[in-house]
Amino acid sequence: MTKSELIETVASKVNNFSRKDIEIIVETLFESMTESLSKGDKVEIRGFGSFKIKARDGRQGRNPKSGENIFIESKKVPFFKAGKEIRERINKIS
């Protein structure tokens, strides 16, 4: 599902708001989540899952094109852990 599909799905279920209003709400939600993660905070949505930042250490790697050894800098990456309710719902569908 893309962001525009999400907006369309919400718009089809909510009649009190225009599509533009729903688009602003969805954008604000994603911006707020991104801002919290960039500060190092955890984002938890009950019944869905949680997002947090994990630190990856620097390591030796290899350039696949040239075969040259390179050092890959340490970095922070977002990590998602699905909640129990969503895992159960997915397993019932499959």
H or E segment to which residue 92 belongs: helix 84-93
Q: Which residues pair with 41 in a beta bridge?
A: none
> What is the value of pTM for the model shown?
0.75
CA distances from 18 to 11, 31, 32, 69, 82 (A): 7, 20, 21, 54, 31
- Beta-sheet pairing, 75-82 with 69-72: unpaired
Q: Please state, in angstroms and rounded to a whole number, the distance separating the CA atoms of residues 56 and 46.
A: 27
Is residue 25 a contact partner of residue 11, using CB atoms and an 8 Å limit?
no
| 58-87 per-position pLDDT tens digit | 999 999 999 999 999 999 999 999 999 999
